[in-house]
Amino acid sequence: MRERFRRLFSVRWGLPLLGLTAAGIALAVWYFRPDPRQAAAEEALQRRDYAGAYTLLQGCLQRRPDDARLQFLAGRTARRAGLYEEAAKHLRACQRIQGETPALTLEHALMRGQRGERQVEPYLQSRVAAGDPDTLLIWEVLIQMYLDDYRLFEARDCLDRYLERRPDDVVALLGRGHIWELLQHYPEAVRDYQRAVRAEPENDRARLRLAGALQITGPPQEAAEQFEWLRSHRPDDPVVRLGLARAWRQLGRLDEARQLLDDLLSDDARHVGALTERGRLALEEREPQRAAVWLRRAVELAPHNREALYNLSRCLQLTGPDAEARDCQTRFERADADLKSLAQLTKEVLRSPRDTTLRCKVGVILLNNGEEQEGVRWLQRVLREAPSYRPAHQALADYYQRSGNSERATDHRRMAEGAPPDSP
């Protein structure tokens, strides 16, 4: 009887239990098998394709939502992509799974720093000083913080140390080259851009930076070679076409430069750079009256463009009328004086990066000379450090009024007068 019962049990229950065990094993194999999307995400991270990597990690988390490491990686990747709400969500999930850790504390500080909270800077610097394994990631955030504050020497020092560890990192080389340009050390910028091109010969961005710097330092033949390479890859890019036309003019290839500029203006008759270059080319061909036609258009579109004003002034001195020539010369001298003031002010900002008065003056000069996006950015930096600084609010109020944005103009005017803006 006992034997019969044992056989019955094994038939009725053993097979279902065996099936459940097999299903459990299959589920475990499915759950723990390597996910090719995670490997693809890590490759995307190596390329700094943070948005693409984050999309892949979201797919991984659909299968393994309770994986703390995946949640952390997704949060860090979203933060580097600038997706702060998504980053916070993943970091909360990670904390719920495993509790607070030093890595989570650091990641929260990195997100705060990346969002412009300067209070975390001492903590981030202390982690670097302690030899944190995530030092490269910390430097990325510190570098951006320093650039936002125009603390160029500190940003350059971080990039120097970053490049000691990763000497062929193209993004770091381009970043340091950009700082050299801001400091007007163009030969050093050329060297960094050349290193970037050697590291990634197919990198269009590196080639364009190198071509632009070579157009300042020379020789023009090397600039032309870079622009010609770029044109073969980006034939319709107006920046590339204009740069190549300038290089050809400098080399005396005037017919080719003229044709390229005419084609560019045929596609975009309001391209200020092409209009200015076309006028300059006509001047070199001793056709000042024809040059004045293009240069007048450029000045109409960009009244503060120093190069266009200078070349139009040259034309009018040859062709007249005298009153227009004097007016144009006065406007050029004013723009030139503003440029010199801007150069001096930025040098002073380097020495006193927290001086709101200096930074506000830079923003105002930029706004008054047509560099609107950059001028607004400088004034917003001032208000981030000193939210009630009236001259910055007044400058932004005037700018938005001129731009037709009366609502924002009113908000800044009220803040300049000491009243809070209307609630949205």
pLDDT band at 11 (very low <50, low <70, confident <90, very high): very low
For residue 99, the model assigns a pLDDT of 94
Tokens 């700094």 -> residue: 48
Average pLDDT over residues 135-149: 95
Q: Are the C-beta atoms of residues 43 and 65 closer than 8 Å to each other? A: no
Residue type for position 371: E
For residue 421, the model assigns a pLDDT of 57
Angle between helices 306-319 and 322-351 (to 10 degrees): 160
- What are the phi and psi torsion angles at 219 (to 5°)? -75, 150
For residue 420, the model assigns a pLDDT of 61
Q: What is the pLDDT of residues 63-101, one digit of tens each?
A: 899 999 999 999 999 999 999 999 999 999 999 999 999
For residue 8, the model assigns a pLDDT of 37
* pTM for this prediction: 0.84
Tokens of 392: 């910055």
For residue 418, the model assigns a pLDDT of 78
Query: What is the rounded average pLDDT for all residues in the chain?
Result: 89
234: left (phi over 0), alpha (psi -120 to 50) or beta: beta
For residue 238, the model assigns a pLDDT of 96
Distance CA 46, CA 169 (A): 11
Average pLDDT over residues 25-38: 58
Tokens of 65: 């939502």
For residue 25, the model assigns a pLDDT of 44
For residue 370, the model assigns a pLDDT of 84
User: What kind and span of H or E run contains 51?
Assistant: helix 50-63
Helices and strands of the chain, counted as H and E runs: 24, 0
Q: Examine the pLDDT at 193 and tell me if it is beyond 60.
A: yes
Q: What is the pLDDT of residues 281-301, one digit of tens each?
A: 999 999 999 999 999 999 999
For residue 419, the model assigns a pLDDT of 56
Distance CA 357, CA 210 (A): 35
Q: Are the C-beta atoms of residues 93 and 71 closer than 8 Å to each other? A: yes
The residues, ordered by sequence, that sit 6+ positions from 358 with a Cβ below 8 Å of its Cβ are: 345, 348, 349, 352
Q: Examine the pLDDT at 333 and tell me if it is beyond 60.
A: yes
Closest CA to 359 of 332, 395, 334: 395
Q: DSSP characters for 296-310?
A: HHHHHH-TT-HHHHH
Tokens 């030093």 -> residue: 102
Tokens of 128: 């670097």
Q: Name the range with the highest mean pLDDT among 174-178, 323-327, 364-368.
A: 174-178
For residue 27, the model assigns a pLDDT of 39
Q: Are the C-beta atoms of residues 379 and 391 closer than 8 Å to each other? A: no
How far apart, in Å, are the Cα atoms of 18 and each of 11, 30, 194, 238? 11, 18, 66, 69
Closest CA to 328 of 342, 344, 317: 317
Average pLDDT over residues 110-126: 95
Distance CA 77, CA 169 (A): 19
For residue 35, the model assigns a pLDDT of 80
For residue 329, the model assigns a pLDDT of 93
Average pLDDT over residues 4-30: 43
For residue 322, the model assigns a pLDDT of 86
Show the DSSP H helices in 386-423 as ranges: 390-402, 406-416
Closest CA to 196 of 220, 180, 219: 180
